[in-house]
């Protein structure tokens, strides 16, 4: 079976993926499926297959939490001239998966989301997701800058650091994010040294011995 078709089948048959598709209605479906990784097309042992299946059948965050994660991830990595937003790259699904895959994330993330809702409830009488974007940014500004944040927001800073890490990582390891970053490897090639213009830019060159002894290519 064609891999994409396989992915599609798996995404439809997976409860977790279906729920996610419903709860994040603005997300391009293909990216969600990529992030979901429902059909692993690389070497897995029997024990790993069992574990993957188990993880796939679980759901950790509820719809409200996923909504908040989606908003936060798009605040952290928004769409710009170069590429789309975190949620467009499937980041919320990645964060949901990591919480299941590495349970050490569960309490800091769930608790952090709750902490955030309590903050906005006190300040704006609303949960974070239901706040206006101005209100959301007001509270994010309190926790997004570790070196100037007030001591009473330290727990929020810790949570936001984790969210920043997971969001950026999820984004820049997605197809969209890698294209944005400009990583051009992971493909068969012949390494024949640093390009000449880059050597010139940095004022370095290969010495004669290196040029003489290093591997040479026919083409």
* Stretch 181-210 residues interacting with other proteins (CB under 8 A): 181-195, 197-198, 201-202, 204, 206, 210
Reading phi first (left if > 0) and then psi (alpha if -120 to 50, else beta), residue 186 is in: left
Among 4, 51, 54, 123, binds other proteins (CB under 8 A): 51
CA triple 71-176-53, angle to 5 deg: 75
Binding mask 138-177 for other proteins (x = CB under 8 A): --x---xxxxx-----------xx--xx--xxxxxxxx-x
Binding segment (CB under 8 A) for other proteins, from list 36-44, 60-68, 112-120, 126-134: 36-44
Considering only residues 70 through 89, tell me which ones interact with other proteins, judged by CB under 8 A: 75-78, 80, 82
Closest to 70 measured CA to CA, from 107, 21, 103: 21
Among 1, 47, 208, 219, binds other proteins (CB under 8 A): 47
Residues whose CB is less than 8 angstroms from the CB of residue 24 and which lie 6 or more positions away in sequence, other chains included? 32, 66, 67, 70, 87, 92, 93
Among 14, 20, 34, 109, binds other proteins (CB under 8 A): 34
Closest to other proteins by CB, 65 or 98:
98
Determine if 16 is a binding residue for other proteins (CB under 8 A): no
- Residue 32 is given by DSSP the state H
Q: Is the CB of residue 15 less than 8 Å from the CB of residue 61?
A: no
Residue 127 to residue 121: CA distance in whole angstroms: 5
Binding mask 83-122 for other proteins (x = CB under 8 A): -------x---x--xx--xx--------------------
In the numeric block, the tokens 């050597």 are attached to 199
Closest to other proteins by CB, 98 or 113:
98
Closest to other proteins by CB, 122 or 202:
202
Residue 90 to residue 104: CA distance in whole angstroms: 21
């Amino acid at each position: 079976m064609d891999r994409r078709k396989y992915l599609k089948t798996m995404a439809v048959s997976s409860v977790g993926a279906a729920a996610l598709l419903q709860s994040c209605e603005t997300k391009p479906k293909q990216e969600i499926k990529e992030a979901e990784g429902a059909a692993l097309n690389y070497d897995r042992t029997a024990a790993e297959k069992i574990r993957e299946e188990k993880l796939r059948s679980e759901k950790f965050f509820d719809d409200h939490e996923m909504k908040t994660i989606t908003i936060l991830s798009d605040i952290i990595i928004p769409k710009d001239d170069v590429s789309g937003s975190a949620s467009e790259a499937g980041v919320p699904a990645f964060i949901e998966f990591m919480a299941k895959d590495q349970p050490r994330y569960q309490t800091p993330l769930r608790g952090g989301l709750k902490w955030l809702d309590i903050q906005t409830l006190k300040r704006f009488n609303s949960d974070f997701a239901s706040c206006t974007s101005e209100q959301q940014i007001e509270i994010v500004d309190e926790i997004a800058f570790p070196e100037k944040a007030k001591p009473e927001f330290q727990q929020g800073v810790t949570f936001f650091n984790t969210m920043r890490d997971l969001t950026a990582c999820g984004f820049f390891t997605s197809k969209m994010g890698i294209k944005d970053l400009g990583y051009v490897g992971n493909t068969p090639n012949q390494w024949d040294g640093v390009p000449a213009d880059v050597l010139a830019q940095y004022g370095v060159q290969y010495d004669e011995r290196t040029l003489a002894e290093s591997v040479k290519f026919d083409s």
